[in-house]
Amino acid sequence: MTSILTYFPDPIRSALRPYVLNDTYGIEEIRLRPGKNVEICGRTVHELPVLFTESCRHAFLSHITSHSLYRLEEQIKRGYITVAGGHRIGFAGQAVLRNGEVAAMEHLAFFNIRLAKEKKGIAEPLARMIYHERWHSTLLIGPPQSGKTTLLRDIARLCGSGSADRSIAPVKTIVIDERSELAGCLNGVPQLDVGTRTDVLDACPKSEGMMMMIRSMSPDVLVADEIGRPEDTAALEEALNAGVAVMASVHAESLSEAARRPVIERIIQAGLFRYYVVLNRNKRWTVQKEWVTA
């Protein structure tokens, strides 16, 4: 986690160091706003006695882009970039519209650094429920910061590496990491442990990526974060018809709230997932519903 410190200019780096090294407050996010105090969010919100000045902003932006903003155009358009260590930096600035669509972002000024934290082993209790001789398709449902991605990452690790304690053999696992958040790839290489038999398709749209991987990489398990677009349904159907287990997540407070979204409702009604795991903001999960397919 300390790798994130290298991206900050000196006054901020010094102020942050003790908090990051000791993981005080259980830091999840570091927020930077022009002319304002640096804020750290974890168990509580805490303001550091250091300002995010204009020169700090330029230095920070130069660091995170390696002085090469031009090569991150697509990521910037999406609103975030992933840096070494798998940390994700979201930002806001001035959107540049072309034909009514966001074509670029300029004057990036507000930053949210989400620290990637690996919590190896947190999926093991869940494995008892979703692994019976083979992995079964599971949908994780939870609000932001409920730990969906962390849990999904550990599921991928368990699928790809197996578990001798639980007699789970490693299987061919593919992570479709559209937002580079699960594996935290940097130049195509995962920065986080997603398993030994795991292949990662980085920065690719989920539905397209799932189709590509089913055809070319013969996966046993597909892992994808935050599904919900209409085209995801077709890709999920394709995967399940090919006998591939899918581990995915979706933003919602509960299964019923998720089902209010037409796409998720169709997915639930089609019985594409066998298990639904609902997470709350305290990062606790329950298997709320088991959909037994014929």
Q: Which residues contact other proteins by CB under 8 A?
A: 9-10, 55, 58-59, 61-63, 65-71, 73, 104
| Residue with Cβ nearer other proteins (168 or 185) | 185
Report the nearest approach of other proteins to the CB of residue 55 (Å): 7
| Residue with Cβ nearer other proteins (69 or 255) | 69
Which residues touch 143 (CB under 8 Å, ≥6 apart)?
251, 252, 253, 279, 280, 281
Euclidean distance between CA atoms 283 and 287, whole angstroms: 13
Report the nearest approach of other proteins to the CB of residue 14 (Å): 13
| Residue with Cβ nearer other proteins (106 or 290) | 106
Report the nearest approach of other proteins to the CB of residue 10 (Å): 7
Tokens matching residue 278: 């609902």
| Residue with Cβ nearer other proteins (67 or 132) | 67
| Residue with Cβ nearer other proteins (9 or 170) | 9
Euclidean distance between CA atoms 185 and 187, whole angstroms: 6
Report the nearest approach of other proteins to the CB of residue 63 (Å): 8
Report the nearest approach of other proteins to the CB of residue 103 (Å): 9
| Residue with Cβ nearer other proteins (75 or 161) | 75
SS3 assignment, position 247: strand
Tokens matching residue 153: 């990452």
Phi, psi of 63 (to 5 degrees): -65, -50
Euclidean distance between CA atoms 61 and 113, whole angstroms: 12
The C-alpha R_g of the chain, in whole angstroms, comes to 20
Phi, psi of 257 (to 5 degrees): -70, -40
End-to-end CA distance of the chain: 45
CA 166 to chain centre: 26
Report the nearest approach of other proteins to the CB of residue 152 (Å): 27
